Structure 1
Amino acid sequence: MLHLRLITPAEQTEEAVRLIEGTRGTTHLCVLTGAARDPAGDVVLCDVAREAADDLLSGLQRLGLDTTGSIAVENVDLSLSERADRAEKEAPGEGADAVLWEHLTEATHEESTLSVTYLSFLTLATMIAACGVVLDNAVLIVGAMAVGPEFGPLAGISTATVQRRPRLAVRSLIALLVGFAVAMVLTVGFSLFMDAVGLFTKEQLEADRPQTGFVYAPDWFSFVVAVLAGAAGTLSLTSAKSGALVGVAISVTTVPAAANAAVALSYGDTVQTWGSTEQLLLNLLGITLAGTLTLLTQKQLWRKQHARLRRRAAA
């Protein structure tokens, strides 16, 4: 269940209440007349099943409450209520299949903003991966994958494509390209420093590396894994399965490939630099393509399911 808290101008409260009451899957409706001060108006509270929330939010936005008042949504971790159970049964579809498009857009907007924190995480992840590729240490590679925040901008590009929001697409693309550029440049400096103090050597980089050699040897399996990971990551975002997203993060070689390219560049090894860059671009393309197709599929399936349920209700 989700909890909605609305601030409505007094003249729009009845209209908002009628919309909520007419939406299958809502319950626990409460109206606090004149309770809001900034902006002034009434406070309307209700719980709604996840699968009914997107339609309700769209209706509230059509009323203009996102401009004249406020719409806030929170997850309900526990609800001991027969009314809530009944509301979830009455709501069309399954909660796990529902996509809250506004929530997804907001989440990807936040994750795809070029900030100091984003650049710091991506740079640190790339430096950790640099240590991993030089030492041929798979544990460090996995750790770097988990730290990397690059899935946010990739999901932002997919969401923006499906929702036709060019500003989000541009913001996400800038965060992705600038983020990797800054991380790789700083990792080149980090590699030169580590070489100067004797912790990195060119011989280590060019030696046989059975654990990490794959990061500069792209093949069809790289693309297939990126596509599968992109689909899984998108599903984890739309269904709020954060645990699955961690698994996605450690299954693709974006950050390790960027790290290997940076270290190889610092030693003038063009073969590994180009190979790692190809691996990076192949993974980014596969994840973005899969994410976009997954969202399009979810959108179509949800529409068909709703149309079928409406036909049943009409009959």
Structure 2
Amino acid sequence: MQKILPTSIVGSLPKPSWLAQPETLWSPWKLRNGELAEGQQDALRIAVQEQRGSGIDIVSDGEQTRQHFVTTFIEHLGGVDFEQRETIRIRDRYNANVPTVVGEVSREKPVFVEDARFLRQQTDGPIKWALPGPMTMVDTLYDRHYRSREKLAWEFATILNQEARELEAVGVDIIQFDEPAFNVFFDELQDWGVAMLERAAEGLRAETAVHICYGYGIKANTEWKATLGPEWRQYEESLPFLQRSTLDIVSLECHRSRVPLDLIELVRGKKVMLGAIDVASEAIETPEEVADTLRNALAFVDADKLLPSTNCGMAPLPRHVARGKMSALSAGADIVRKQLAAAS
């Protein structure tokens, strides 16, 4: 029988200090060439061990082989020049110096497939792999070629579908698309954003998830959150469209946020990967705190469709904090599991 309330993390885990600078996003690698490849595999193996040791049910790579959840994928594509850079506004929130699309984008070879194959070899349990979503990819580049966010998104969606099919073929059970841009560009979300996501997920037998959050616990994101008022209702724009989409799972940020939990009702019928761990704080939740978040969410999502998770990735956190938070997530889910079993 399938385990109820299976736990997972959304994306990244902190990297070991011998691989990259700890508690830092975009941290450069400390190793080179063959040593780097070996070090990344070692870090991935450790990430699996730490997840399993913390009681996480659906294991991921912790993004140990990538510097960034978007640009590491783009680095492997043709048509993007990382030497030609422009400063743009990312997610209408902060400025960044980004690479330029100079020609037709293409995927000459698989990007993460060998890493996913290695992850599959580390565990017999279910595994999840995260890819950047088409809209978020578009929002991380300067486009000198297509000059249309929609056209570029379609090309990226096609490329992502190729990658996703090969990830599925090496045994990935859940393919997650990260679309934080869905919390910002509501007109594009409605006009073409969800359609591009469906194109990226087209024809997959693996379960598909979309992750929408308010970002890592970095200064630009926390300052933006401070402007959003007493209630964060951005999900009200996206969830009705996602409820009607072909995606299987919707991943949301909920714990210690101002998101009203009743918004989860808008995706009734879908599985919900519920953020019950705050990644913007080093304070480790108690199992009972996690359990409270999950119990409150059960008013709006059926127990057999609830997947306890983290709000976002944990790359900027100290490793011991990330381990503590994963353990709290597992223990909190176990509290609710036992309560549900006793009530049935």
TM-score (norm. length: structure 1): 0.26
TM-score (norm. length: structure 2): 0.24
The structure with the larger Rg is 1
The structure with more helix, counted as a fraction of residues: 1
Q: Which has the higher contact order (CA 8 A, sep 6+)?
A: 2
